Amino acid sequence: MRIAIGLLVALGFGLVAFGYWGLETAAGRRAFDEMAGMIPFGAQVLGALLLTAAGVISAACWWRGRPDR
């Protein structure tokens, strides 16, 4: 289970970072202008969902007393 949580966290942070770049930097705004800006926004939302899922799974494992699974 640690591997799955680690993958979810890594992918989530990557998507959030990509979304931040695409929406908040000048280079990102040039690359994703007008309606294409939905791509980084969607990546941020998906990244946040993955990070939330990793937190819920981690909390459930901790609650059950199985941190190694």
Residue spans of the domains in the chain: they are 2-64
| pLDDT value for 66 | 65
Helices 2-24, 38-64: crossing angle, 10 deg rounding: 150
The distance of Cα 52 from the centroid of its chain, to the nearest Å, equals 8
Task: From first to last of the 69 residues of the chain, give the pLDDT tens digit.
Answer: 889 999 999 999 999 999 999 999 999 999 998 889 999 999 999 999 999 999 999 999 888 886 655
Burial (Cβ within 10 Å: 0-12, 13-18, ≥19) of residue 47: buried
